[in-house]
Every structure is written in structure tokens, then in C-alpha cells.
Amino acid sequence: MALVDECIFCKIIRGEIPSFKVWEDDKTFAFMDINPVAKGHALIVPKFHTPNIYEAPQEWLGPTLGAVGRVARAVRDEVQPDGMNILQANDKGAAQSVFHIHFHVIPRIVDDGLTMNWDMVPGDMDEIDKLAEKIAAHTASE
């Protein structure tokens, strides 16, 4: 398990900083966000320090996403929201504030005022098609 000394999430995983743990196994750790945007807001992290999804080893993503599903179902059952956002941000342009990959489980209530949603506006289908082909070529070479 590779953790980093100065990372706040690594410190939480090691128990150096207290947290409100909701799940833990050999590869993942989940805890309540202490700056919640909604009741039940939780964070899920791998027990492996990697700054973002681009650099995350595949063998850690699967178990982490499994833990995201487990925590989301538990939050849904306890909080009983109208819906749920699963959020994961990468780099400053996406407002990532802690550079240890993490997933937010955010319960939602209709008209709760959170601004993570966007209006449905159709894009240019030809442009989308061309971009899809280019992206598919990249995914095939991974």
C-alpha cells in the first residue's frame, strides 16, 4: 500500500486524522465529508495514493468503484434522497481540491439548489461522431 506523508486523505486512511468512517476493506476507505453539500455526503478513496483518474492503476479503480456503489446504496437506504450524484473531479479546472483520487456520494433532493446539473442542449451530431471516433482510437491503444 503506497501512501504519501503529506496527503490529508492518506493521513485519514492511516488514522492520523480522525474521520467518520462508513466503510473499509483492504483496498478502500469511505468516510463522511466534514464539509457536506447535502446530508449523507460521503467520500470514497483507494488505500493507494494516486492524484487523479489519469494516473490511477486499473487494479485500484475496480475495487474503489465497487466501494462507491456499496456506500451509495447505504446512503440511499439511510437518507432516502430523491436521487444521487456520484462526483469525481480531476485537476484544478474541475475544482479538485485534494490530489488523492476520491469519489463523492452526494444525496440529492428535487429542487435542492445544488448546481451540479445542466440543461439538455443537443450538440452537433457530426462533431460528436468525429470526436467519438478519435476518442475510441485512444481507448483502443490503452
104 is catalytic: no
Of the candidates 52, 42, 47, the one whose C-alpha atom is nearest the C-alpha of residue 72 is 42
Instruction: Collapse the DSSP code of 96 into the 3-class scheme (helix H, G, I; strand E, B; otherwise coil) and give the result.
Output: coil
Distance (Å, whole) CA 30 – CA 32: 7
Contact 105, 41 (CB under 8 A): yes
Would you tell me how many other CB atoms lie within 10 Å of the CB of residue 108?
Answer: 18
Q: Which helix (H) or strand (E) segment is 76 a member of? A: helix 58-79
From the candidates 41, 49, 100, 102, give the one annotated as an active-site residue.
102
Kindly list the catalytic residues: 102
